[in-house]
Amino acid sequence: MPTEITEEGYGDLRVYVRDTWHYMELRDELEAVIHRFNIGAGERAIENGTVKFTQVVTGQDILDSPINGSLPTTVKHSALFKVATLGDEMDEYELTEFTFGEVGDECTFVHEVQVPQVGE
């Protein structure tokens, strides 16, 4: 009969997620890819059973994107990946919508993963 893993097991899974899911892909309201960012070690943290990935993005970052380098651009979703290009999506998250209209616009996106997921 299957059993649930221990809290230590969940802790190990959180560390694995934090240490191996290094890329956050931003997507628009239609889920078209805008850009995929490498999330630095200082922007990946574990807090109260949740792994948090934080990425500060500017309008200039969007404009410089080889995928969708145009303004205005609205960000609505993010997805996490282990690799810089292609690869399997590890998680998808709906963000608070933000529209970049100028190169000086800036927004901090936080993608949260609960391990284990609690409630809905």
The tens digit of pLDDT for each residue in 77-111 reads: 999 999 999 999 999 999 999 999 999 999 999 99
Q: Is the pLDDT of residue 120 over 90?
A: no
Q: Is the pLDDT of residue 119 over 70?
A: no
Kindly give, in sequence order, each residue whose CB lies less than 8 Å from that of residue 3, ignoring residues fewer than 6 positions away: none
Kindly give, in sequence order, each residue whose CB lies less than 8 Å from that of residue 26, ignoring residues fewer than 6 positions away: 33, 34, 35, 36, 37, 55, 57, 75, 77, 78, 109
Q: Is the pLDDT of residue 21 over 80?
A: yes
Percent of the chain with pLDDT over 70: 98
Average pLDDT, the chain: 94
